[in-house]
């Protein structure tokens, strides 16, 4: 085990010592130590399944640790609930946002602790208090706006404001930039620097290597539920971090491109969503064996393109697959016609959280398992689920495990495996590596290339520029619902893509 490079006399706000946690069939944490300095930004890195979220849930009182100790500001603590943690100055901004979307922004921030005037909620105080926090964090939102009308990036800012509203000493941020544009990331970093100057500590969980040098002071690396190393960010390279995370050298972030685009498999003409604002007159071709990226700023309507092709969104226009015009009136039609869609919001529209891996693996293909008298072919279901777990390299205690207990990366692998069972001709991927570690990303990239080699057509929406430039053959750029241009990946640059992204703003 590697030596901790931080000085022993560092003034720590948080000390988690020898924390262990076991679930049936798996040891999630094995003697993990995490020490966070006062007024510092401490990165927590590791592959999906490394134990990062479990460690934070032990801190936050969601899980009860089996052994170990936690000290906060010099005092022993053992929070029994998230409220207990919040009351003691520890807050958490989750990757999967849990907001009451039908209510206003300020209601979400003060939920459960509304300011009162006698027996009634003091609306004026709630509004002014929210406005004061927004001004302090340079968040330009109306506190009376309904959450349902916000973009994902704005919802993320509201959650950060909520964490700050507790006057927290420590804020845990889990993948806070996963849905943000480059400009919004810069704004978030300014917020983090501002709260850091006030002596607040931040535990920053991210899989984006390029963010560490910009915002973090130290980094702790976990692997397979164990502490591996803690280093100053200035003393460790990206390649070293990746090597420690995955336990092996991973010099290249992207697999070699071995696929060769051939004849046209999909032709899309004048695709226009029925309900606006959305996409208008989008036309393009996709070749067999091609990986086509879709780029654009938040609000460019990238997701609308793949949802319209999949008939998740009503649209007019002409879609031709293998020379035959498609009439996808519903997602069921789209599946039968050879399309598959992996959605962006894994928790909301991807997994069936309370169901096991069997259910989540075969649900999109359920018609194929029905025998006579509406009896399901259980042997075939078991066989196909084993194929998903094996071919996708899913880490799970067993196939009856509820999918909600798996890491985000393993959940995503199950979802992709589910759609591959439908044997699609065109695979539509919306942010397929969002919130996934570098090792799992590599696996998914390799899977995409393998599918392309077999003649499948792949369309991938992504907010990560390095990903688009590293894995695609061509990139379709959207701007305000319109097609701004299509570029060859080998011949383009980040600057050209950003220029096209702003074309119709």
Q: Is the pLDDT of residue 2 over 60?
A: no
Question: Which two tokens mark 70?
Answer: 């936690």
**2 and 139 assigned to the same domain:** no
**176 and 242 assigned to the same domain:** yes
C-alpha dihedral (378, 380, 382, 385), degrees to nearest 10: -130
Mean pLDDT of 376-396: 89
**79 and 175 assigned to the same domain:** yes
Domain that holds residue 351: 345-423
Mean pLDDT of 486-502: 92
Of 251, 272, 303, which one is at a domain's C-terminal end? 251
Question: Which two tokens mark 266?
Answer: 């999909």
The DSSP output letter for 2 is P
Give pLDDT tens digits for 325-339: 999 999 999 999 999
Give pLDDT tens digits for 215-235: 999 999 998 899 999 999 999
User: Is the separation of the CB atoms in 180 and 156 below 8 Å?
Assistant: yes
**50 and 177 assigned to the same domain:** yes
pLDDT at 138: 85
pLDDT at 251: 56
N- to C-terminal Cα separation, the chain:
52
The DSSP output letter for 405 is G
pLDDT at 179: 66
Give pLDDT tens digits for 17-33: 999 998 776 788 999 99
Q: What is the CATH number of the domain that holds 71?
A: 3.40.50.300
What Å distances lie between residue 42 and 196, 206, 417, CA to CA?
Answer: 11, 11, 34
Q: In what order do the strands lie in the sheet with 75-77?
A: 26-37, 12-23, 67-72, 75-77
User: 140 burial class (0-12, 13-18, 19+ CB within 10 angstroms)?
Assistant: exposed
C-alpha dihedral (300, 304, 309, 310), degrees to nearest 10: 150
Mean pLDDT of 464-490: 94
pLDDT at 204: 95
DSSP string, 63-107: S--SEEEEEETTEEE--SSHHHHHHTTEEEE-SS----TTSBHHH
pLDDT at 36: 96
**192 and 237 assigned to the same domain:** yes
Calpha distance 237→207 (Å, rounded): 14
The helix or strand, by DSSP H or E, that contains position 408, with its residue range, turns out to be helix 408-420
Calpha distance 414→412 (Å, rounded): 5
Pairing of strands 457-461, 282-287: unpaired
Mean pLDDT of 234-240: 88
What's the chain's average pLDDT? 89
**434 and 487 assigned to the same domain:** yes
Q: Which of 252-261, 285-294, 298-307 has the highest mean pLDDT?
A: 285-294
Question: Which two tokens mark 23?
Answer: 């679930």
Give pLDDT tens digits for 399-432: 989 998 887 778 888 998 999 899 899 999 999 8
User: Is the separation of the CB atoms in 294 and 476 below 8 Å?
Assistant: yes
**82 and 149 assigned to the same domain:** no
Calpha distance 368→155 (Å, rounded): 40
**365 and 505 assigned to the same domain:** no
pLDDT at 9: 41
Question: Which two tokens mark 226?
Answer: 């164990």
pLDDT at 6: 43
**485 and 439 assigned to the same domain:** yes
For Cα atoms 448, 431, 215, give the angle at the middle one, nearest 5 degrees: 115
CA 228 distance to own-chain centroid: 24
Q: In what order do the strands lie in the sheet with 457-461?
A: 339-342, 426-430, 457-461, 291-295, 474-479, 482-488
Contacts of 468 (CB under 8 A, 6+ apart): 293, 295, 460, 462, 475, 489, 497
**Bridge partner residues of 374 (DSSP):** none
The DSSP output letter for 4 is P
**Backbone angles phi and psi of 486, in degrees to 5:** -125, 130
- State how many domains the chain has: 4
Question: Which two tokens mark 305?
Answer: 């393109």
pLDDT at 198: 86
**44 and 80 assigned to the same domain:** yes
Q: Is the pLDDT of residue 440 over 80?
A: no
**174 and 74 assigned to the same domain:** yes
Of 118, 138, 167, which one is at a domain's C-terminal end? 167
Mean pLDDT of 363-390: 87
Pairing of strands 41-45, 218-223: parallel
Give pLDDT tens digits for 95-143: 766 788 889 999 999 998 999 998 899 999 999 999 999 998 888 899 9
Q: Is the pLDDT of residue 5 over 60?
A: no
Of 388, 423, 458, which one is at a domain's C-terminal end? 423
**241 and 294 assigned to the same domain:** no
């Amino acid at each position: 085990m590697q030596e901790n490079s931080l000085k022993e006399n560092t003034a720590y706000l948080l000390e988690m010592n020898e924390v262990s946690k076991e679930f049936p069939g798996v040891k999630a944490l094995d003697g993990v130590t995490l020490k966070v300095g006062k007024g510092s930004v401490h990165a927590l890195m590791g592959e999906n399944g490394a134990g990062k979220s479990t460690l934070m849930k032990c801190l936050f009182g969601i899980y009860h640790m089996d052994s170990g100790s936690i000290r906060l500001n010099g005092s022993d603590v053992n929070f029994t609930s998230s409220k207990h943690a919040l009351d003691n100055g520890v807050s958490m901004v989750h990757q999967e946002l849990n907001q009451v979307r039908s209510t206003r922004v300020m209601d979400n921030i003060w939920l459960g602790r509304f300011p009162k005037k006698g027996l009634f909620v003091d609306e004026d105080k709630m509004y002014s208090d929210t406005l004061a926090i927004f001004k302090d964090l340079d968040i330009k939102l109306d506190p009376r706006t309904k959450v349902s009308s916000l973009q994902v990036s704005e919802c993320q800012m509201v959650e950060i404001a909520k964490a700050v509203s507790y006057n927290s000493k420590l804020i845990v941020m889990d993948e806070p930039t996963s849905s943000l544009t480059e400009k919004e990331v810069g704004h978030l970093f300014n917020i983090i620097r501002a709260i850091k100057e006030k002596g607040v500590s931040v535990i920053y969980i991210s899989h984006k290597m390029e963010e560490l040098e910009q915002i973090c002071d130290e980094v702790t690396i976990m692997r397979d539920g164990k502490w591996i190393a803690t280093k100053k960010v200035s003393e460790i390279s990206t390649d070293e971090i990746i090597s420690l995370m995955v336990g092996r050298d991973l010099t290249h972030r992207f697999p070699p491109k071995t696929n060769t685009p051939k004849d046209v498999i999909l032709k899309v003409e004048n695709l226009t969503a029925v309900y606006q604002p959305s996409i208008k007159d989008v036309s393009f071709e996709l070749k067999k064996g091609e990986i086509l990226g879709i780029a654009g700023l938040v609000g460019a309507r990238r997701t609308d393109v793949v949802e319209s092709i999949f008939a998740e969104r009503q649209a007019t226009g002409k879609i031709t697959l293998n020379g035959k015009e498609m009439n996808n009136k519903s997602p069921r039609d789209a599946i039968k016609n050879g399309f598959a869609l992996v959605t962006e919001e894994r928790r909301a529209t991807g997994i069936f959280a309370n169901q096991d891996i069997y259910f989540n693996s075969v649900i999109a293909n359920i018609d194929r398992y029905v025998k006579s008298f509406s009896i399901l072919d259980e042997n075939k279901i078991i066989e196909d689920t084993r194929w998903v777990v094996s071919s996708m390299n899913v880490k799970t205690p067993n196939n009856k495990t509820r999918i909600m207990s798996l890491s985000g990366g393993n959940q995503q692998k199950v979802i992709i495996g589910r759609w591959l069972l439908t044997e699609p001709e065109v695979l539509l991927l919306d942010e397929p590596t969002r919130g996934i570690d570098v090792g799992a990303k590599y696996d998914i990239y390799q899977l995409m290339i393998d599918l392309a080699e077999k003649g499948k057509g792949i369309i991938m929406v992504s907010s990560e520029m390095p990903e688009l430039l590293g894995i695609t053959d061509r990139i379709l750029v959207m701007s305000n619902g319109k097609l701004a241009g299509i570029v060859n990946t080998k011949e383009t640059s980040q600057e050209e893509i950003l220029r096209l992204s702003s074309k119709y703003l």
